[in-house]
Amino acid sequence: MHQVEWISAQLNRIQLGALVVAAVGIVLGIVGAVLNIEHFFRGYLIGFLYWMGVTLGCLGLFMVMNLINGAFSFAIQRLFAAGARTVIVMLVLFVPLVFGLGLLYPWTNAEVLSSLPASKASFFTVELFLLRSALYFVV
CA dist., res. 92 & res. 44, Å (int): 13
CA dist., res. 104 & res. 119, Å (int): 21
- The predicted pLDDT at position 1 comes to 60
- The predicted pLDDT at position 118 comes to 82
Backbone phi, psi, residue 137, to 5° = -70, -35
- The predicted pLDDT at position 110 comes to 82
User: What percent of the chain is predicted at pLDDT more than 70?
Assistant: 99
Answer yes or no: pTM beyond 0.75.
Answer: yes
- Can you list the residues of the chain whose pLDDT is less than 70? 1
- The predicted pLDDT at position 71 comes to 84
- The predicted pLDDT at position 91 comes to 95
CA dist., res. 2 & res. 18, Å (int): 25
Are the CB atoms for 121 and 114 separated by under 8 Å? yes
- The predicted pLDDT at position 109 comes to 85
